[in-house]
Amino acid sequence: MQKEKLERAQVRRALEEAVLEVLETMCFEFPVAEPEEGEAPQKEGVHAAARFDGSLKGVLRIALTGEAPRRLAAAFLGLADDEVGERETMQMACELANMLCGATMSRLEPHGRLRIAAPEASRVTGACGGACWLCFPLEAGLLAATLCLEEES
């Protein structure tokens, strides 16, 4: 039912605005080209997911490829790229998923209720069958994001 409440274009616009806002304000990073819709990135990378419920229920997933995970973590923490380890990179991916989830949902449901569970990150992609990903080319890799809404049980 909830999927019908939201137009696909509305979700895409909210997600795109959220990604651009988070990249600019927290990581001082700007995409090098316009985002494109596509399938989940196949390249090895860092994957993170933030589950949410409330007015809407689902999961926001992100994938970071190339040097993008380390570069974004370094920018966020004000460190040089080689000062960032695997732990900080994964923690940053979690925080990125968390912020993107909040920023997207506050655009889609500004008057709704939202609860975001603690995000999880790994180097293994999570399943999100048939989802359309929005892919942002960055100088050092790719940031892709998708929002999967689930039916109320």
Partner 1 sequence: MPSRLMIVDDSPVMRAFVKRTIALSGIETSEILEASNGREALEKLRACAAAPAVDLILTDINMPVMDGEQLIGELKADPALQAIPVVVVSTDSTENRVGALLRLGASDYVRKPFPPERLSEVLGGLLPGAVAREEEF
Q: Is 73 in the site for partner 1 (CB under 8 A)?
A: yes
* Closest distance to partner 1 from the beta carbon of 125 (Å): 22
Select from 34-42, 87-95, 127-135, 139-147 the region that touches partner 1 (CB under 8 A).
Answer: 87-95
| 78 versus 129: smaller Cβ distance to partner 1 | 78
DSSP character string of 107-147: HH-TTS-EEEPPPEEESSPPP-TTPPEEEEEETTEEEEEEE
Alpha-carbon separation of residue 97 from 4, 18, 52, 147 (angstroms): 24, 11, 11, 11
Q: For residues 144 and 23, is the Cβ–Cβ distance under 8 A? A: no
Q: Is 6 in the site for partner 1 (CB under 8 A)?
A: no
Residues that bind partner 1 (CB under 8 A): 21-22, 25-26, 54, 73, 76-78, 88, 91-92, 94-95, 98-99, 101-103, 105-106, 109-118
